[in-house]
Structure 1
């Protein structure tokens, strides 16, 4: 039976697509082998680097709730009456947050928040704490991690995977910062806890009504949740309970 022109075009298109995919796979393999060869030439151990690349790619494919440990590694959310709305200081001005839990979830803060574009930081490039508190006023959720997490490559890979889920500048639902809490910043997290999630809320979530009543929260509230490990599931639940709209100044960037 004769083959129609449309069938021939479809067959040609399939061959072309298959060839393009093969070229892409071959290209990725060539790049990977080139990187490996370069590392060997300059004497840098390649296996840990390649493994890190593969681990990061693997985590990036997971849903947020599947990254890291289950939410059970985190304690209950803690609330405290919030203060400091629109109380600004000049950049670099020392601000004492020691009266509250570490890290801060509200308070006096610098004039300018950190821009929304960057999601994750390390010790060498993190914004000042007082600057990040301004981000909290604008509805950001901040994930703080201590040196135990910073020294754990698997945990850092999980945090990078979480940060990747929040890339973008136009969607305020992605108001997230992942930053280290340093020994020089103030009191450490509670014993055995290495991650702290914080939010500056305009009002307590309904799920936290009992905790709010106990803490005598009537309006603005600082919200904390401490975890022993990184947990995307806990973060998702936290940000569902405390979205960016639940904050003193949610429409600011």
Structure 2
């Protein structure tokens, strides 16, 4: 059998090469497309979070605090117990075991979880929350802390209400606006009482201007869901100046 002419062989080779180039080009386009999808996804995830946060914030910006969330009667009675350990600092690397969930007073780090300066925040998630020992220090200086559990954290609407309430305290020029909303997780300690998913705590001096440490109390109020009306009543009853060290405002 006669061998194919050289021109025929070259034509076949050229055809094969052309097919390979086409396949390589299509493969390159596919890789670029996949990379584009991955990059878009990487960008979209945090962007979605930012947009969601902005939407949640704007949803409540025009409302008064007592219009956010449930009415005040979703919260139980305010309870207190004698407080101690004002000024008791432990090393920053030391974790403290508190007797209550969450704590309203006790030994703490000599650092704050947040300070009322430009850019300070009133709302935290489990990803960025300051350590509890630092938040207790905030309470010593008059902060009210609203703690929300994992049930609230997993509920977008309820979490948005907590965020909306917290942002009502963003006016750093008002010393009364010492407020933090932070998560309480199963790793932090015991769960809240049955059916309760929000807790407000304050370290009270026993009244604004009180200096006798024997009069200090820890203050708690538990709620089944977020209530801006209850928060407003709580911080009015227990303002920043009613704390062991109100003038060392963080």
TM-score (norm 2): 0.74
Paired residues, what number? 201
CA contact (8 A) 2:56 2:164 kept: no
Question: Could you say which residue in structure 2 is the equivalent of 1:251?
Answer: 247
Residues 1:78 and 2:79 aligned together = yes
State how far apart, in whole Å, the 2-side matches of 1:97 and 1:55 are.
33
Cα distance in 1 between the residues matched to 2:52 and 2:129: 26
CA contact (8 A) 2:123 2:167 kept: no
Give the corresponding residue for 2:135: 132
1:237 corresponding residue in structure 2: 233
Change (3 A) 1:94 1:74: same
The 3-state SS of whatever aligns with 2:63 is: coil
Cα RMSD (Å): 2.6
Once the two structures are TM-superposed, the CA of residue 50 in structure 1 deviates from its matched residue by: 6.8
Query: Which segments of structure 1 move beyond 4 Å, counting only runs of 4 or more?
Result: 41-55
Give the alignment's TM-score, normalised by structure 1. 0.73
Asked if residue 222 in structure 1 is aligned to residue 184 in structure 2, the reply is no
Note the C-alpha offset of 1:169.
Answer: 3.0
Gaps of 5+ in 1: 1-38, 206-216
Equivalent residue in structure 2 for 1:183, among 183, 186, 190: 186
Q: Name stretches of at least 5 consecutive residues in structure 2 with no aligned partner.
A: 1-36
Equivalent residues of 2:176, 2:239 under 8 A apart: yes
Q: How far apart, in 1, do the equivalents of 2:185 and 2:136 lie?
A: 15
Residues 1:107 and 2:106 aligned together = yes
Q: Deviations over 1:155-208 (max 9, x none)?
A: 111111112211143322110010000111111100000000000001169xxx
Rg comparison, structure with higher value: 2
